[in-house]
Chains A and B, each alone.
Chain A
């Protein structure tokens, strides 16, 4: 069974530029999560989807971050415009009513 797929794996952009990350969850997993992981820290939840509905986005900085999961499968997380402090690893995870399984993450560097 394929795991959670994320792309790109690495992204380097200049500040004020937009950036987007893509996630394909494990087949059949209706719950999808986006996490932010800063260096030396554990992951922190940004947003959680149940199918296509965002049910917990309280930690998402909505002035510059947005996410969508239009058909309840793949998801995209966008930052516009990016700031230096957004440099981090963005992790996607999925679950089916229980344990969460993580993708490899996208390492974002904002210069």
Chain B
């Protein structure tokens, strides 16, 4: 199935550093979502973006909905060990009763204490 281009695929950072990851698509979306998945668990919703250009924060997390509606980024400031996990972006095109999510392949984050 169709998937978004998410980068980087993986990253190793020192505790305290800031992190940035992004997602691009050839299709436009009405909603962008960012999820975090820990090993053996399902994805947990972090941030939802509903409007082009929107910038939303959730604690140390900040995400933006690109103006073209074809991209989004997620920043994590002052990383801590519990930030370790896989981060997925997902685009949603709501219309005609469809709420299908298209996911990226994920960014695996490792934090070195």
Binding site for B on A (CB under 8 A): 4, 6, 9, 31, 40-45, 48, 50, 55-56, 59, 91, 93, 95, 98-105, 107
Question: Closest Cβ of chain A: how far from B54's Cβ, in Å?
Answer: 15
What are some 11 contacts across the A-B interface (CB < 8 A)? A40-B106, A42-B88, A42-B105, A44-B103, A45-B100, A45-B101, A56-B100, A91-B42, A98-B48, A99-B45, A101-B45
B40 touches A48 (CB 8 A): no
Q: How far is the CA of A4 from the CA of B43 in the complex (A)?
A: 11
Q: Which residues of A contact B42 (CB under 8 A)?
A: 4, 6, 91, 93, 102-105
B3 touches A48 (CB 8 A): no
Binding site for A on B (CB under 8 A): 1, 3-4, 33, 35, 40-45, 48, 88, 90, 97-101, 103-106
Q: How far is the CA of A45 from the CA of B101 in the complex (A)?
A: 8
Indicate the member of B43, B88, B98, B100 with the most A CB atoms within 10 Å.
B43
Asked if A105 meets B41 with Cβ closer than 8 Å, knowing A42-B105, A100-B101, the reply is: yes
Q: How far is the CA of A56 from the CA of B3 in the complex (A)?
A: 18
Q: Which residues of B contact A98 (CB under 8 A)?
A: 48
Q: Which residues of A contact B45 (CB under 8 A)?
A: 99-101
Asked if A59 meets B1 with Cβ closer than 8 Å, knowing A31-B99, A40-B105, A48-B100, the reply is: yes
Additional A-B contact list (9), CB under 8 Å, known A43-B88, A50-B97: A42-B90, A42-B104, A45-B1, A45-B101, A48-B99, A56-B100, A98-B48, A104-B42, A107-B40
Q: How far is the CA of A40 from the CA of B108 in the complex (A)?
A: 9
Q: Which residues of B contact A107 (CB under 8 A)?
A: 40
B103 touches A100 (CB 8 A): no
Question: Closest Cβ of chain B: how far from A38's Cβ, in Å?
Answer: 10
Q: How far is the CA of A41 from the CA of B9 in the complex (A)?
A: 11
Question: Closest Cβ of chain B: how far from A56's Cβ, in Å?
Answer: 7
Asked if A42 meets B100 with Cβ closer than 8 Å, knowing A4-B42, A104-B40, the reply is: no
